[in-house]
A and B are shown apart, each in its own frame.
Chain A
Amino acid sequence: MNVLIVDDEPLARERLVAMLNELGGDYTLAGEAANGIEALEQIASLQPDIVLLDIHMPAMGGIEVARHLVQQAASPAVIFTTAYDEYALAAFEAQAVGYLLKPVDAEQLARSLHTASILQEGQLKEVDTATGTKRSFISFRLRGDMQLVPISDVRYFRAEQKYVEMRHSDGIALIEESLKSLEDEFAEQFVRIHRNALVAKKAVAGLERDSLGRSHVRLFGCDERLDVSRRHVSEVRQLLKSRS
């Protein structure tokens, strides 16, 4: 069993490494990561069986890491670690996802690792909706590798036949999420302009109307125009008005 240790605090990692070494047996240290983004990279390259994942971390927290892992085909078993997190704990207790309280005690660590090595997959699905946290990245797969795009770089999401097309500052990606769930999660940053499109509020440059009376949204930094359905015109107009 390869174990990846993820924590932003060096001393916290040090302790877990030492405890893991003492446990011996099947468990070997696969590697260490200091934040969520590093963790996802390490998980992709090292393919650990189990991840000890801290919840509070800079750049990307543990819960968001878990949410990206859910979308992967073969994800490692995750055990969360946290010093004190009443909300997250309540959610995990309800969902029976493994978690450890810091300072972690050796016996509990051994037990959780044992459970995780049996369970492996399937436990992560529940994390998704239970905790109510918002992601700061969107992940997608490109030739088998996971790619991350900061949500602040996304210009719009547009639903196509089977996928959602995500236009970001570096290109276009296809993701497997519903527009509705994206809308719910990112309601603060995005606005619905059409049955099939969700646009970043800060990307909206202006509203224009063509000779046929249809409305379009102009975007900052790209020439594309997006259709605005009649139902949503007023919301876009309000957004533009609130800005000036």
Chain B
Amino acid sequence: MKQKHTTSMQPRSPVKQGEGLFLPDLCSIRMLLVVIVIAQLLAFVIMLAGSVPGQRWQDLGLISLFVQWLVLCSVLVLCLLRPWLERFSNARAGMICFAILMLLTATISELAFSYVAIPGMDRSTSAHVDFLIRNLAISAIISFVTLRYFYLQYQSNRLLQAESLSRIDALQARIRPHFLFNSMNIIASLTRSKPELAEQAIEDLSRVFRASLARAQNMIPLHEEIEICKSYLHIESLRLGNRLTVDWHIDEQAAQRPVPALLLQPLIENAVIHGIEPLAEGGTITIRVLQNDTGTLVIEVDNPCPDTASISNQGNGNQIAQENISERLNAIYAGAAEFRITEQAQCYNVAIELPMQQDTDGSGK
């Protein structure tokens, strides 16, 4: 089976698209209280804006009654319809909410005009139409603003959530708790039996962590990256004992070429975790670094490939590192770099080909 991926990787979004309705749960007591207070404030505004001096308190009573009725009915209806609204997209749900609010305004205005009797009220048709239109206009503005507010709040919440999730992801990827605690464990063991090996392990561990906490965008000479890989492999070989064998084939000239930092180390880590760890008898990781005639830098990592059945419980950390490297190569080399994964029955091979770059390359070709 052969696979080749260069660009098309699924972006990992922590929050699924189109999840959840923007409308908050209006049935909660807290929300209800807020709504009642705001409705009352609205009644005040209408009273202050429109009524004649001397009649204000009477007006306020009527306006409050009307506004509270309308608002509470709206809250009740939207609350009951919430499960049904969840089936629609947010845009459509918003429009449906707006339509429902308009319908409620019209209905309650009609009821109020027909059944509430105020002495000296103008009951002509023009007054009726005017009452209806005014109410609808006010309601339309308020509904629009409120729905918009709910939507913005929902969006900012979602964004915040997504951001913090991706930050945790990034942090975990850098710290790699498994590796950290396993290393601590072997250091704890070595401090008893072989303190000088423990000391070296701490130095190696520091080098690996310093490298992984550096900015990933930096270019470093390949031989520096190889040093980091050797430190990493040194720790892993302490841990895995004779199960891990590493076979290096490095062309010295190729090792001088600049590469993005942390290009090779995650691939080797994958090879250890997915290729060597699941095998009781262990295996060999082969790393080849060479430069071909056209100046293309070729980096290859081979590792044994255990039965997929026996690694089904291991999760998919593999993919994340590969996606990350592929994305970075795309960003840095604008599609000129290649990232190839070849999976055979017994062997898993990852190959990276980096073109000669005029500006960053020291040999001046």
B181 adjacent to A59 (CB under 8 Å): no
C-alpha spacing A103/B182, complex, angstroms = 7
B185 adjacent to A102 (CB under 8 Å): yes
Q: Does A48 contact B (CB under 8 A)?
A: no
Nearest-CB distance from B173 to chain A (Å)? 14
Nearest-CB distance from A123 to chain B (Å)? 22
| CB neighbours of A61 from chain B (8 A) | 313
Nearest-CB distance from A191 to chain B (Å)? 16
| CB neighbours of A104 from chain B (8 A) | 185
C-alpha spacing A14/B307, complex, angstroms = 29
Q: Which residue of A lies closest to B315 (CB)?
A: A87
Q: Which residue of A lies closest to B193 (CB)?
A: A14
| CB neighbours of B185 from chain A (8 A) | 9, 11-12, 15, 83, 102-104
| CB neighbours of B181 from chain A (8 A) | 83-84, 101-103
A12-B189, A18-B192, A56-B277 as given contacts; A84 in contact with B313, CB under 8 Å: no
A10-B241, A84-B177 as given contacts; A15 in contact with B278, CB under 8 Å: no
Q: Number of contact residues on A: which range applies?
A: 20 to 34
C-alpha spacing A9/B309, complex, angstroms = 22
C-alpha spacing A173/B310, complex, angstroms = 22
C-alpha spacing A11/B180, complex, angstroms = 15
Which residue in B240, B279, B280, B313 is a CB contact (below 8 Å) of A9? B240
Q: Which residue of B lies closest to A37 (CB)?
A: B280
The residues in B between 310 and 327 inclusive whose CB is less than 8 angstroms from any CB of A are 310, 312-313
Nearest-CB distance from B185 to chain A (Å)? 4
Which residue in B177, B186, B310 is a CB contact (below 8 Å) of A12? B186
The residues in B between 203 and 255 inclusive whose CB is less than 8 angstroms from any CB of A are 238-241, 243
B313 adjacent to A133 (CB under 8 Å): yes
A9-B241, A83-B182, A152-B307 as given contacts; A14 in contact with B189, CB under 8 Å: yes
Q: Number of contact residues on B: which range applies?
A: 20 to 34
A58-B277, A58-B278, A84-B177 as given contacts; A11 in contact with B189, CB under 8 Å: yes
A14-B193, A56-B277 as given contacts; A136 in contact with B188, CB under 8 Å: no
Give the number of residue pairs across the A-B interface with Cβ within 8 Å.
Answer: 76
Q: Does B298 contact A (CB under 8 A)?
A: no
Q: Does A134 contact B (CB under 8 A)?
A: yes
Q: Which residue of B lies closest to A12 (CB)?
A: B185
Q: Does A146 contact B (CB under 8 A)?
A: no
C-alpha spacing A103/B189, complex, angstroms = 9
| CB neighbours of B309 from chain A (8 A) | 136, 151-152, 189
A9-B241, A56-B277 as given contacts; A136 in contact with B310, CB under 8 Å: yes
A15 adjacent to B241 (CB under 8 Å): no
The residues in A between 45 and 94 inclusive whose CB is less than 8 angstroms from any CB of B are 56, 58-59, 61, 83-84
B238 adjacent to A11 (CB under 8 Å): yes
Q: Does A226 contact B (CB under 8 A)?
A: no
Q: Does B30 contact A (CB under 8 A)?
A: no
Which residue in A11, A37, A84 is a CB contact (below 8 Å) of B178? A84
Q: Could you give, for residues 5-48 of chain A, a 1 whenever the CB lies within 8 Å of some chain B CB and a 0 otherwise?
A: 00011111011001000000000000000110100000000000
| CB neighbours of A9 from chain B (8 A) | 182, 185-186, 239-241
A14-B189, A15-B188, A18-B192 as given contacts; A83 in contact with B178, CB under 8 Å: yes
B189 adjacent to A15 (CB under 8 Å): yes
Nearest-CB distance from B233 to chain A (Å)? 15
Q: Which residue of B lies closest to A85 (CB)?
A: B178
What 7 pairs across the A-B complex have the smallest Cβ distances?
A: A15-B189, A83-B181, A103-B188, A84-B177, A102-B185, A11-B189, A58-B280
Q: Hey, which bits of chain A sit against chain B, CB under 8 A?
A: 8-12, 14-15, 18, 34-35, 37, 56, 58-59, 61, 83-84, 101-104, 133-134, 136, 151-152, 189
Q: Hey, which bits of chain B sit against chain A, CB under 8 A?
A: 177-178, 180-182, 184-190, 192-193, 238-241, 243, 277-280, 307, 309-310, 312-313
Give 8 pairs: A residue, B residue, CB < 8 Å, sorted on A: A11-B185, A11-B238, A11-B241, A58-B277, A58-B279, A59-B310, A103-B184, A136-B310
